[in-house]
Chain A
């Protein structure tokens, strides 16, 4: 303001100089100079006045607007508080619901994993029992199907060798029998010689009887002897016949013996051949079944630890429930912080005693305090484990 007063004094002074010059000095040079100086001062003054006027207008505008802003801030903050409150409630409910769902799901999955493990072990035992049953034939000694087939094979071989030996022995018997028949034939030859002797003796006795008859009374005794000799030769011939008949009977018996030995020696091998073929097929089958069974048993025994491992991994993975729960809990703490701010906003009422400025300051203070608390809580957070791979967790 003093500037304007100085400028005004300067202007008046210049005007006074101009008037003096106009009337007394009448110097044109000074007149022009002073006039232009006055013009400049006036222009400067006008500028200054305008500037002050502008400043004053601005100040009055600011005063008017601050009252309007207070109301707006209150209503916005009230809206904000309502919005925050509603969102926090929704988030809290959802977090609780999630925690509940996860917990239930984890209990279910955990028990189903344990059941799975038990069932797998049970299944393995059952399969083992089943396999041991299929490999045996159900006798007291628990012999395997393979043993049975091997024994049968051995029995068949023994049977074949018995048959062959029987045949061989029978054929030997046969050759002996043939030799015996030859002996019989030799006996027949001898017998016919004996028969020749008998008929010659008979003839001789007949001649002797004739000679005795011719001798008359003197040859009577000799005739008796000749007669006896003749009857002896007849008896001898009869005896020869009897022997021949007996030997013929023996020959008939030998023929019967021959046929029965033939039956004994000649066994048809076709059925044995078929049995042997079947045995071979069965043996191969049993071998392949045993091989397959052993392979399956090995695969199964490898499968059990794999299932256990898989179940272990599954159960270990279930600790995500614990992590999730801790995360949700810390989330709830954070929500509580936001709640605190929201509560401060509730108190942000239009009070005549406290100005908006002070209220904003106290809000800022509260915000800083909550921010620091949250940071401390975050740094000493209970969930340090960020990944599930980092720790082994026993079954729960």
Chain B
């Protein structure tokens, strides 16, 4: 599995870790990782520290995640992307839309 998701004990933290390639093949798993969480005020952390490659579908998936987060008034944090991934996020101007922690 290239995706691991973990909910904290109090249910206020959802961490999604993506390994290696973040592309279209993961779209169903990625959606499944957050779709069932319908509680509000949850901080969603997308850990990209192990992500090596990202294409435009990954950006689309992140935007869908953002829509979901906004729907349930939560927060979205992208954590520790590597240089290449961070550049892609910059080109997509995601730093204006969400918090990116380097």
Contact = CB atoms under 8 A, between A and B. Distances in A.
Contacts of B57: 167, 170-171, 262, 265-267
Interface string A238-249: 000000000000
Interface string B53-73: 011110111011000000000
A160 B91 contact: yes
Among B55, B56, B88, max chain A CB count under 10 A is at: B56
A161 B56 CA distance: 10
Contact of B24 (A161, A166, A262, A277): A262
A171 B92 contact: no
State which size class the interface on A falls in: 20 to 34
Contact of B59 (A164, A174, A277): A164
A350 B84 CA distance: 121
B59 A273 contact: no
A124 interface: no
Interface of B is mostly: helix
Nearest to B85: A269
11 contacts: A161-B92, A164-B56, A164-B60, A164-B63, A165-B63, A167-B57, A171-B64, A265-B24, A269-B56, A269-B88, A276-B91
Interface string A251-279: 00000000000100111110011001100
B84 A273 contact: yes
B6 interface: no
Among B24, B61, B93, max chain A CB count under 10 A is at: B24
Contact of B87 (A166, A268, A273): A273
B87 to A, nearest CB: 6
B28 interface: yes
Contacts of A160: 91-93
Given A167-B59, A266-B55, A268-B55, 9 more contacts: A157-B91, A160-B91, A166-B60, A168-B59, A265-B56, A265-B57, A269-B91, A273-B88, A276-B91
A272 B64 contact: no
Interface residues of B, number: 20
Contacts of B54: 269
A153 to B, nearest CB: 11
A171 B27 contact: yes
B23 interface: yes
A172 interface: yes
Contacts of B93: 157, 160-161
Nearest to A272: B91
B63 A168 contact: yes
A167 B23 CA distance: 11
Interface of A: 156-157, 160-161, 163-172, 174-175, 178, 262, 265-269, 272-273, 276-277
Contacts of A276: 87, 91
B2 to A, nearest CB: 15
B23 A171 contact: no
Nearest to A172: B64
A359 B99 CA distance: 122
Nearest to B30: A171
Contacts of A170: 57, 60
Contacts of B59: 163-164, 167-168, 269
B51 to A, nearest CB: 13
A167 B91 contact: no
Contact of B56 (A167, A172, A277): A167
A179 B58 CA distance: 21
Contacts of A268: 55-56
Interface string B71-102: 00000000000001001100111000000000
A164 B92 contact: yes
Contacts of A168: 59-60, 63-64
B55 A174 contact: no
B4 interface: no
Contacts of A267: 55-57
Contacts of B28: 178
A251 to B, nearest CB: 16
B92 A167 contact: no
Contacts of B88: 269, 273
Contacts of A178: 28
B31 interface: yes
Among A166, A265, A273, max chain B CB count under 10 A is at: A265
